[in-house]
């Protein structure tokens, strides 16, 4: 059975943000009943098939697959700052001498970016931001490793969201269960 124009519009709108209530409103259903209408529409077998088909077509068209998403999450979750920067302790003479005539030194840390031509794709994908202040200080910000690992855990079925929001509006709290052998 073919979808009517309003149902087809719901399918198209649902693909925008995967929000059934908002898709129902944008498809022309009443705002007062959009929540229940959206839920009802998602339970419709023909609409569910149309959504699945449209998502599959979009996945092929955009070349965005579950495997690519999981790969990108893994790059972030298992990223290591040492693949992007190198640091070491160093000393330098201050230009002053102590009372015995021995040059004074000061200890400092040196941080050096590894060249963009030298880092691999996985390391580059884990970097969210690199900036340098006017005084030359480097800042390297990595993507949220914990969030990526939580998403990987949910995808693999070993992480379950316990609370939608943590204390004081903090991110959700997840628990991990490892009740099956880890795979490498």
Query: In this predicted structure, what is the pLDDT of residue 160?
Result: 64
In the prediction, which pLDDT does 16 show? 92
Helices (H) and strands (E) in the chain, counts: 7, 6
> Residue by residue, what is the 3-state secondary structure of 17-33?
HCCHHHHHHHCCCCCCC
Place of tokens 């880890």: 182
**Which positions of the chain have pLDDT values less than 50?**
180, 184
Q: What is the pLDDT of residue 50?
A: 96
User: What are the start-end ranges of the E strands in 4-156?
Assistant: 85-97, 103-113, 127-132, 138-142
- Structure pTM? 0.60
Q: What is the pLDDT of residue 173?
A: 58
Spatial separation of the C-alpha atoms in residues 65 and 59, rounded to whole Å? 6
Q: If we measure between CA atoms, which residue out of 57, 66, 16, 53 comes closest to residue 38?
A: 16
pLDDT reported for residue 158: 79
| Range 129-133, long-range pairs (CB < 8 A, 24+ positions) | none
Give the pLDDT of residue 84: 92
pLDDT of residue 133: 87
Instruction: Write the pLDDT tens digit of every residue in 69-113.
Output: 999 999 999 999 999 998 888 888 888 988 998 889 888 888 888
pLDDT reported for residue 38: 94
Contacts of 179 (CB under 8 A, 6+ apart): none
């Amino acid at each position: 059975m073919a979808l009517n124009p309003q149902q087809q519009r719901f399918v198209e709108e649902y693909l925008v943000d995967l929000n059934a209530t908002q898709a129902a409103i944008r498809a022309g259903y009443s705002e007062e009943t959009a929540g229940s209408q959206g839920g009802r529409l998602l339970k419709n077998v023909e609409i569910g098939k149309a959504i699945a088909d449209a998502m599959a077509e979009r996945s092929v068209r955009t070349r965005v697959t579950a495997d690519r998403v999981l790969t990108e999450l893994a790059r972030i979750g298992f990223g290591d700052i040492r693949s992007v920067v190198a640091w070491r302790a160093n000393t330098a003479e201050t230009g002053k001498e102590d009372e015995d005539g021995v040059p004074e030194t000061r200890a400092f840390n040196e941080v050096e970016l590894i060249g963009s031509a030298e880092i691999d794709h996985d390391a580059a994908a884990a970097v969210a931001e690199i900036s340098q202040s006017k005084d030359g200080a480097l800042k390297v910000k990595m993507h949220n490793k914990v969030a990526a690992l939580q998403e990987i855990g949910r995808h693999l079925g070993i992480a379950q969201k316990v609370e939608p929001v943590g204390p004081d509006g903090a991110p959700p709290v997840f628990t991990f269960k490892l009740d099956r052998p880890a795979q490498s």
